[in-house]
């Protein structure tokens, strides 16, 4: 704050200028003189909220995006800043409106049509979701995090799907100790301690750790729901096999159960699903395939070559060797 009690945007601009010499994030790139001029005219409360949005980028010199929304309405209230950032990241031209559905037919899109020799394939899909009427994780306080977790715990008890909720919140009726948490982490089910991530810490996402955090796991361990990570909900489905439609059908079942309990997901009329990080706006979905793809690189050891090949198809290679 400056002497007048306003956000000191001169310091903000000086910091962005310094960071630009190291690495220019999207939040930095689109903090233009015009945006700064507009921000300075806003009431003090809105000035602080814009500063909150930028904190992840301002405090980390390795940020690629550098912006985290704190409330669903940020995307409208501060669209003069966030809209150009969103359009560049998602390669949006003109007045495109996000539309999505879940109409991938089971049995139609089979990976074996690409390569009949594929083996040991596991498909994983996850969607990020936030619930309308709640602050996004960066702005939640401890009480709101716990209240949201308790709301979801009640829903899981009436879910209609066999499974167990595991809470990291001390005193919660489903609290698990560190040994059980480590077991879930080792199985790649549960997320790690969020306070070890500088970006999540700077943005406020990791605040009040571990309160309000946990994971619901289905009895067959093919469906999971994270509570209180970067978004309020991360909904995950894992299917072994070759049918892309099957993993979507499994994911849709989970989403329908949550919406059927009376919760309404936060959505933007133009950009689709509202997420904390603008990079996940749209469908909020990411999908991955773990399998054996022999002979892509010589002796299966050239990870950089694998990543280059994947990039040509608009894909990301996230490691090799298991």
The overall average pLDDT reported for the chain is 90
Q: Residue 58 sits in which domain range?
A: 9-89
- Tell me what pLDDT residue 294 has: 67
The pLDDT assigned to 159 comes to 87
User: pLDDT-derived band of residue 2, with 50, 70 and 90 as boundaries?
Assistant: low
pLDDT tens, residue by residue, 79-96: 999 999 999 999 988 787
**Residue 142 belongs to a domain with what CATH number?**
3.30.590.10
> What digits encode the pLDDT tens for the residues 109-138?
887 777 777 777 888 999 999 999 999 999
Q: Is residue 134 part of a domain?
A: yes
Q: What is the pLDDT of residue 14?
A: 97
User: What distances in angstroms separate CA 139 from CA 4, 71, 122, 223, 245, one per listed residue?
Assistant: 25, 7, 36, 28, 36
What is the dihedral angle through the alpha carbons of 40, 43, 46, 52, rounded to the nearest 10 degrees?
60
Residues 137, 259 share a domain: yes
Q: Which residues contact 26 (CB under 8 A, 6 or more apart)?
A: 64, 65, 66, 67, 85, 88, 89
What is the torsion angle, in degrees rounded to the nearest 10, for the CA atoms of residue 134, residue 136, residue 137 and residue 141?
-50
pLDDT, tens digit, 9 for 90 and up, residues 54-64: 999 999 999 99
59 and 135 in a single domain? The answer is no
Please check the confidence at residue 291 and state whether its pLDDT lies above 80.
no
- 8-30 b/e (C-beta count within 10 Å ≥ 16 → b): ebeebeebbeebeeeeebbbbeb
Q: Would residue 268 count as lying in a domain?
A: yes
pLDDT tens by residue, 154-191: 999 988 899 999 999 999 999 999 999 999 999 999 99
User: Of 46, 68, 89, at which residue does a domain stop?
Assistant: 89
pLDDT for the residue numbered 101: 66
Ranges 7-21, 94-108, 205-219, 239-253: which has the least confidence: 94-108
């Amino acid at each position: 704050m400056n002497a007048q009690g306003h956000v000191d945007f001169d310091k903000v601009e000086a910091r962005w200028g310094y960071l630009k010499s190291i690495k220019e994030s999207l939040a930095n790139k689109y903090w233009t003189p015009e945006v700064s001029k507009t921000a300075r005219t806003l009431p003090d409360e809105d000035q602080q909220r814009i500063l909150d949005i930028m904190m992840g980028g301002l405090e980390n010199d390795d940020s690629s995006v550098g912006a985290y929304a704190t409330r669903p309405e940020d995307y409208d209230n501060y669209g003069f800043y966030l809209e150009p950032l969103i359009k560049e990241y998602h390669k949006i031209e003109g007045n495109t409106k996000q539309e999505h559905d879940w109409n991938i037919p089971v049995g139609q899109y089979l990976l074996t049509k690409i390569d009949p020799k594929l083996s040991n394939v596991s498909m994983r899909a996850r969607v990020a979701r936030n619930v309308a009427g709640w602050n996004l994780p960066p702005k939640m306080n401890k009480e709101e995090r716990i209240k949201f977790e308790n709301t979801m715990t009640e829903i899981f008890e009436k879910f209609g799907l066999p499974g167990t909720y595991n809470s990291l919140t001390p005193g919660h009726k489903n609290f698990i100790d560190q040994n059980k948490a480590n077991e879930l982490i080792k199985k790649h089910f549960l997320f790690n301690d969020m306070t070890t991530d500088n970006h999540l810490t700077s943005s406020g996402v990791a605040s009040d750790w571990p309160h309000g955090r946990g994971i619901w796991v289905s009895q067959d361990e093919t469906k999971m729901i994270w509570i209180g990570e970067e978004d309020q909900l991360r909904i995950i489905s894992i299917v072994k096999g070759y049918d892309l439609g099957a993993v979507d059908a499994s994911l849709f079942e989970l989403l329908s159960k949550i919406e059927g309990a009376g919760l309404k997901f936060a959505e933007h009329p133009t950009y689709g699903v509202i997420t904390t990080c603008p990079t996940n706006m749209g469908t909020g979905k990411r999908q991955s395939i773990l399998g054996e793809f022999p002979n892509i690189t010589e002796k299966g050891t050239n990870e950089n070559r694998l990543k280059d090949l994947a990039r040509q198809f608009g894909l990301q290679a996230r490691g090799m060797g298991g």
